[in-house]
Amino acid sequence: MIDHGIETAEQRVKAGKDETGQICCQITGYEQGFTLSISDDGRGIDIGKVRRKAIEKLIITPEQAASMSHDQFYQILFMDSFSTKEM
């Protein structure tokens, strides 16, 4: 179940998108394994929100956040139990 990340139908229409979000899953097999790719047509990752939540959850300090790249913030998204969803 996707519970956040894709805009509501109203937000999508305002953004000029179809009201139904699209999620694409692709599996490519190789001799040594496979690659799973998942993409969507949502609004994208809000790096500022990832930064704020990571600091709030004491995963990183503000000083560390100041020198981190986008790729380093993307890695935080894969940490166990990390989410930017408001509870």
Stated pTM of the model: 0.71
Same domain, yes or no: 30 and 65 = no
49 and 36 fall within a common domain: no
Domain count, the chain: 2
Residues 39 and 50 in one domain: no
What's the gap between Cα 34 and its chain centre?
Answer: 22
Q: What is the pLDDT confidence band of residue 3, given thresholds at 50, 70 and 90? A: low
pLDDT for res 2: 60
What letter would DSSP give residue 71?
A: H
**Which structural domain range is residue 1 located in?**
1-43
- For residues 51 and 65, membership in a common domain is answered with yes
Q: How many CA atoms lie within 13 A of 47 on its CB side?
A: 10
Rounded-to-10 torsion of CA 58, 63, 65, 68: -140
Same domain for 77 and 53, yes or no, is yes
pLDDT of residue 33: 98
The per-residue pLDDT for range 17-71, each reduced to its tens digit, is: 999 999 999 999 999 999 999 899 988 889 999 999 999 999 999 999 999 999 9
Indicate if 23 and 50 belong to the same structural domain: no
